[in-house]
Amino acid sequence: MIKEQYNPQEIERKWQKFWDDNNIYKTPSESDKPKYYALSMFPYPSGRLHMGHVRNYTITDVIARLRRMKGYNVLHPMGWDSFGLPAENAAIQSNANPADWTISNIDYMRDQLKTLGLSYDWDRDIATCKPDYYKWTQWLFLELYKAGLAYKKEAAVNWCSDCATVLANEQVEEGQCWRCSTIVEKKNLSQWFLKITDYAESLLQDLDKLKGWSENVKLMQKNWIGKSQGTTIKFKLVENPDIEIPVFTTRPDTVFGVTYLVVAPEYPIINQLVAEENKDYVQKYIDAAKIKSEIERTSTEKDKTGIPLGTHVINPFNGKKVPLWTGDYVLVEYGTGAVMGVPAHDTRDFAFAKKYNLSIVQVIKKQQTGEEELAEAYVDPGVMINSGEFNDLDNETGKQKITEWAEQNNAGGRKVQFRLRDWLISRQRYWGAPIPIIYCDNCGIVPDENLPVLLPEDVDFKVQGRSPVSTSETFVNTTCPKCNKPAKRETDTMDTFICSSWYYLRYIDPKNEDKIFDSDLVNKWMSVDQYVGGIEHAILHLLYSRFFVKFLKDRGLVNFDEPFDNLLTQGMVLKDGSKMSKSKGNTVDPDDIFKNYGADTARLFILSDSPPQRDLEWSDEGVEGCYKFLNRVWRLVYNSRENIIFDYPELDANKLASKNNDLLRETHKAMKKVTADINNEFQFNTAISKYREFVNCIYDYVGKTKTYNDEDKAVLSNAIITLIKLMSPLVPHMTEELWSELGGSGSIHLIELPEHDESLAVSQNLPIVVQINGKVRDKLMLPFGSSNDDLENAAKDSEKIQSHILGKQVVKTIVVPNRLVNIVVK
RNA sequence: GGGCGAGUGGCGAAAUGGUAGACGCGCUAGUCUUAGGAACUAGUAGGUAACCCCUGUGAGAGUUCGAGUCUCUCCUCGCCCACCA
């Protein structure tokens, strides 16, 4: 018996237990059905779910549920990105163990996910902080090491003093730490890197294969990889012709306009380039540059500064002698660490030359104009002048010719330059996967194959400036696996982005103790059919994941190029116009919504107000509205319970009374619209509108029907049971309850979703718009499929239309079948 | 500075080049109630007393029988990258 009152809390608890007990959402690895891998970006277990999580996981859950009901074997797993700094900070504050803090958060959040009614296969739950997972993270590191893609080097790295650790390039935002906004310093440290730059070209090229990614995200990756085609040109030092300074340029066509050269202050051999009398002065400049923060140095507002080294270089193209400078706007990491100054054709160089009174030589002119004094740099295409044998070439041809000349005369050549730099992965923190490396005085760097290398527990978390791991004597002191002599362990841990860049592979084979995963299984399940997560991962996580998959393919462990076929980047959840955050105090706790309205209401609201890609403004009234709607559906079913026959007889549309035919048609229209909206475009908001329209329509029907004959009952039953089926992916608990109470057996979530019948979804009569000169003047109800002549005649017969045509000349008539007639008059 | 999006009622938003504002929130009036913040009914872009009609999708032009939608110029907002040579 259906209860009179909709009681979400009672229903939801009951069905969640039922689903759990009966393993409704367990995914068999083998099945005759086609596979579908639906994946949400797994959360960091910070303590409790926020609305962003609710949105992310509900979206993916609806997609997974719909696919399941469309006959797919759906993999829909969940896990925990559980290494990271917050656990360590919490440990320092409360003297707890990061592991305990993390595990209890995971347990709480897992319960919350269950409360939300998400259809996960919990048997595949993984946590990156557990040894049975990070063992394979370490294994992966060693594979990279053996392939020459993990290496250690001394480098000027980004240092966050607040987090007391180094940061990857990708983790520095506007010169500040991505996590705590502390201004990042440069420090010279010996650190581990992954050679992601080896894959720069394929990471760029394969973006074209990602048809299911938005252009926006692909472009962000493309810009980050930052490929530029250019030329290197070598300039010899006048004072010591054995020294060559190569520069990188994308404008070799302007080489005859070089009037100076600038090297970075950190240029490795800068000391050999300085004239004796300038040494003191230059050293001061270099020291000053070092202590400037990244943010000061890279500010575009500031004037460029530089000083002459007192020496000169020879331009190989024209033999001209030009002064050599150093300037802190030149980056030692990019290109060759040296640039040529062409003030006439580069705005930055122009400003620099004006400031320091350097000469300006024009070498490109606009077509058809003479040479004239430049008021600003001329950066557009043109014709080469003052360029010796290259004069009169258009500058694009000039680029080729100049580069060829450089190649032929040993003065440089073609060069492809990427902005992408190697991935700095070592962190001086505790709560991460230890880097499985041993340093031996005899054997040097030795990989430790005895995995997992477990995190020590006897550590001092409060140590400053070095990894807390280094305080564990038992961990640090070990023996060399090669020579058995005493040796020391690496005490840095890995960037947690390593752990989170391969997790989607582990879900497929989560309990494998012998291998990172079974390749056959992974090849069968990958790629991920639909990945859903926040736009904030557009670069870091997604780029790293793509890199790992390309590496694993090269190692023969997988046979696909890209991990994620389709990517949906969901918008943020806002309140009062800005992102929900604790610091702003504008958060809404999902638990409160579950408690007051139930998970079904939360799910419905989070999907109803905006399309998923767009930001969603939180609205208490909107939540209330969704709750009322669910109550409205409940009442509809409850009040009609006497007239609902679960096994209603088949309906013959040709024989139905017109009222019943109308409802049958609306039922098929709803089927069509809802599945199309969810399946193709993830337009949950318009799918939900359709639910409401359909419910309004059934209410109309019920309101008009005083007594029910068998045909009425069958049509009504069809409408209501279809409604419940269509709503079940979004509103899983309430629909399960109604399904069961109306007489359905098993779970509604395991049935097949019905397909609409197109012939039943079209109306017999359609409103046809009649326009005069594109303005609507009348609307006529005409049969579906009327011929163009019939439409035109009907339009011209209309009294309203005739009054508009009267006394005018009909120039032409446009007819769009089933839609409109436009009469053009003069 | 470069790149990418987006501008539609009081609000969230709909709209294969073809009836702009579906659906909802809010609001107004009414019904039922002791009462309702519940439910139901009707209305709700602006102008007009009002039907008709006129105006209307950031501004301006263009293409088209017809433009929220396509093209160009401009304005505003958001996001990403940014001394990248």
pLDDT, tens digit (0-9, with 9 covering 90-100), for A98-124: 999 999 999 999 999 999 999 999 999
Q: Which nucleotide is nearest to A636 (CA to C1')?
A: B39
What's the pTM?
0.92
Least confident of A157-171, A242-256, A457-471: A157-171
The whole-number Å distance from A348's CA to B74's C1' is 28
Q: Which nucleotide is nearest to A418 (CA to C1')?
A: B84
Structure tokens at A178: 């991505």
Plot region of A100 (φ>0 → left; ψ -120 to 50 → alpha; else → beta): alpha
Structure tokens at A750: 């395991």
Residue A470 contacts residue A463 (beta carbons within 8 Å): yes
The whole-number Å distance from A604's CA to B24's C1' is 12
Q: Which nucleotide is nearest to A352 (CA to C1')?
A: B83
Residue A640 contacts residue A648 (beta carbons within 8 Å): no
Q: Which nucleotide is nearest to A776 (CA to C1')?
A: B19
Query: What pLDDT, on a 0 to 100 scale, did the predictor assign at position A370?
Result: 62
Query: What pLDDT, on a 0 to 100 scale, did the predictor assign at position A798?
Result: 82
Q: Which nucleotide is nearest to A247 (CA to C1')?
A: B85
Query: What is the signed CA dihedral for A414, A416, A419, A423, rounded to 10 degrees?
Result: -120
Q: Is the pLDDT of residue A448 over 90?
A: yes
Average the pLDDT over A807-811 and give the result: 82
User: What is the spatial order of strands in the sheet that A150-160 belongs to?
Assistant: A165-167, A150-160, A185-194, A423-424
In a 13 Å sphere around the CA of A542, the CA atoms on its Cβ side amount to: 32
Q: What is the ipTM of this complex?
A: 0.93
The whole-number Å distance from A121's CA to B24's C1' is 34
CA A156 to chain centre: 29
Q: Nearest residue to B64, CA vs C1'?
A: A774
Rounded Cα distance between A105 and A416, Å, is: 47
Q: Which nucleotide is nearest to A767 (CA to C1')?
A: B19
The whole-number Å distance from A300's CA to B1's C1' is 9
Q: Is the pLDDT of residue A176 over 60?
A: yes
Query: What pLDDT, on a 0 to 100 scale, did the predictor assign at position A219?
Result: 86
Q: Which nucleotide is nearest to A303 (CA to C1')?
A: B83
Residue given tokens 């380039």 in the structure block: A273
Q: Is the pLDDT of residue A293 over 70?
A: no
Residue A496 contacts residue A83 (beta carbons within 8 Å): yes
The whole-number Å distance from A732's CA to B24's C1' is 21
What stretches of A479-619 show up as alpha helix (H) in DSSP? 496-499, 503-506, 519-525, 540-554, 590-596, 599-608
Average the pLDDT over A298-310 and give the result: 75
The whole-number Å distance from A712's CA to B33's C1' is 33
Q: What is the mean pLDDT of chain A?
A: 90
Helix (H, G, I), strand (E, B) or coil at A560: coil
Rounded Cα distance between A428 and A463, Å, is: 11
The whole-number Å distance from A212's CA to B7's C1' is 26
Query: What pLDDT, on a 0 to 100 scale, did the predictor assign at position A299?
Result: 55
Instruction: Tell which residue, A757, A702, A751, A701, has the closest CA to residue A724.
Output: A751
The whole-number Å distance from A222's CA to B51's C1' is 60
pLDDT, tens digit (0-9, with 9 covering 90-100), for A403-434: 999 999 999 999 999 989 899 898 888 999 99
Average the pLDDT over A793-802 and give the result: 84
Q: Nearest residue to B4, CA vs C1'?
A: A216
pLDDT, tens digit (0-9, with 9 covering 90-100), for A711-742: 999 999 999 999 999 999 999 999 999 999 99
Q: Is the pLDDT of residue A687 over 90?
A: yes
Q: Is the peptide bond before A527 cis (omega within 30 degrees of 0)?
A: yes
Query: What pLDDT, on a 0 to 100 scale, did the predictor assign at position A208?
Result: 87
Q: Nearest residue to B83, CA vs C1'?
A: A329
The whole-number Å distance from A621's CA to B25's C1' is 7
The whole-number Å distance from A603's CA to B23's C1' is 18
Residues 6 or more apart in contact with residue A24 via CB below 8 angstroms: A18, A119, A747, A749, A750
Q: Which nucleotide is nearest to A351 (CA to C1')?
A: B83
Residue A277 contacts residue A310 (beta carbons within 8 Å): yes
The whole-number Å distance from A222's CA to B2's C1' is 14
SS3 of A587-612: the string is CCCHHHHHHHCCHHHHHHHHHHCCCC
The whole-number Å distance from A383's CA to B63's C1' is 36
pLDDT, tens digit (0-9, with 9 covering 90-100), for A462-493: 777 678 899 999 999 999 999 999 999 999 99
Q: Which nucleotide is nearest to A611 (CA to C1')?
A: B13
Q: Which nucleotide is nearest to A337 (CA to C1')?
A: B85
Structure tokens at A127: 């946590």
Q: Nearest residue to B81, CA vs C1'?
A: A223
The whole-number Å distance from A97's CA to B68's C1' is 58
The whole-number Å distance from A372's CA to B52's C1' is 68
Residue A679 contacts residue A753 (beta carbons within 8 Å): no
Q: Which nucleotides of B are covered by protein (CB under 7 A)?
A: 1-5, 11-16, 18-20, 22-26, 38-41, 53-54, 65-67, 79-85
Instruction: Tell which residue, A407, A401, A394, A398, has the closest CA to residue A368.
Output: A394
Rounded Cα distance between A773 and A795, Å, is: 14
Residue A822 contacts residue A774 (beta carbons within 8 Å): yes
Query: What pLDDT, on a 0 to 100 scale, did the predictor assign at position A808?
Result: 80
Query: What pLDDT, on a 0 to 100 scale, did the predictor assign at position A298?
Result: 55
Q: How would residue A576 be classed by pLDDT, with cut points 50, 70 and 90?
A: confident
Residues 6 or more apart in contact with residue A709 via CB below 8 angstroms: none
Q: Which nucleotide is nearest to A629 (CA to C1')?
A: B24
Q: Is the peptide bond before A452 cis (omega within 30 degrees of 0)?
A: yes
Q: Is the pLDDT of residue A294 over 70?
A: no
Least confident of A34-38, A60-64, A807-811: A807-811
Structure tokens at A115: 């409360």
Residue given tokens 């409704």 in the structure block: A24
Sign of CA dihedral A21, A24, A27, A28: positive
Average the pLDDT over A69-77 and give the result: 96
Q: Which nucleotide is nearest to A173 (CA to C1')?
A: B81
C-beta neighbour count of A757 within 10 angstroms? 15
Residues 6 or more apart in contact with residue A593 via CB below 8 angstroms: A601, A602, A605, A623
Query: What pLDDT, on a 0 to 100 scale, did the predictor assign at position A372?
Result: 65
Task: Say if strands A338-341 and A244-249 run parallel, antiparallel, or are unpaired.
Answer: unpaired
The whole-number Å distance from A774's CA to B60's C1' is 22
pLDDT, tens digit (0-9, with 9 covering 90-100), for A614-648: 888 888 889 999 999 999 999 999 999 999 999 99
The whole-number Å distance from A124's CA to B52's C1' is 68
Return the biggest CA–CA distance within chain A. 109
SS3 of A362-403: the string is CCEECCCCCCCCCCCCCCCCCEECCCHHHCCCEHHHHHHHHH
Q: Which nucleotide is nearest to A333 (CA to C1')?
A: B84
Q: How would residue A301 be classed by pLDDT, with cut points 50, 70 and 90?
A: low
Rounded Cα distance between A173 and A180, Å, is: 11
